[in-house]
Amino acid sequence: MFKKLREIKPRILIVDDNQNIGEVLSDYLTEKGYEVSYAGNGDDALHYVKRTRPHIVLWDVRMPDISGIEVLKQIIEIDPKVGVVMITAHQEDELGREALMAGAIDFITKPIDFEYLDTSLMLKLSAMLE
């Protein structure tokens, strides 16, 4: 199951308007062997998704320029194979349920539990690449 995952370098796009969080996540995931890109706003992220089709998008729900749920729907419309993990700084259970019902593959709260993130990404990517 994980053999295919080891044979490729999964592409992850991090989208967060807080550059410090983007850098921490990017450094961490790069060390884990992922090919990581960063976008600080919704427009750049959507253009990146259209051009490169990342395997996973880690999207901050509270972006100033676009609603997290709206962008989730746009990404699924661009490419339903792209997995979107919604991230928020707040415990927002209702928003989490809404994101999952709209097609997100996971919903994670900040501060990010990196062990949980590792497990979530591994499981999601393995299922996507089967």
User: What tens digit of pLDDT does each residue of 18-70 get?
Assistant: 899 999 999 999 999 999 999 998 899 999 999 999 999 999 887 877 877 88
Per the model's pLDDT, the better-predicted residue between 45 and 89 turns out to be 45
CB 86 within 8 A of CB 61: yes
User: Which structure tokens are listed for 19?
Assistant: 């550059």
Rounded to whole angstroms, the Cα distance separating 123 from 127 reads 6
As a whole number, mean pLDDT of residues 67-77 equals 88
Check pLDDT > 90 for residue 114. Answer: yes
The three-class DSSP label of residue 101 is: helix
Rounded to whole angstroms, the Cα distance separating 22 from 3 reads 28
3-class secondary structure per residue, 65-94: CCEHHHHHHHHHHHCCCCEEEEEECCCCHH
Check pLDDT > 50 for residue 81. Answer: yes
pTM for this model (two decimals) = 0.89
pLDDT band at 82 (very low <50, low <70, confident <90, very high): very high
pLDDT at 1: 43
Rounded to whole angstroms, the Cα distance separating 97 from 34 reads 28
Percent of the chain clearing pLDDT 70 (strictly above)? 92
The backbone torsions φ and ψ at residue 65, rounded to the nearest 5 degrees and listed phi first, read -100, -15
What structural domains and CATH numbers belong to the chain? 10-128 (3.40.50.2300)
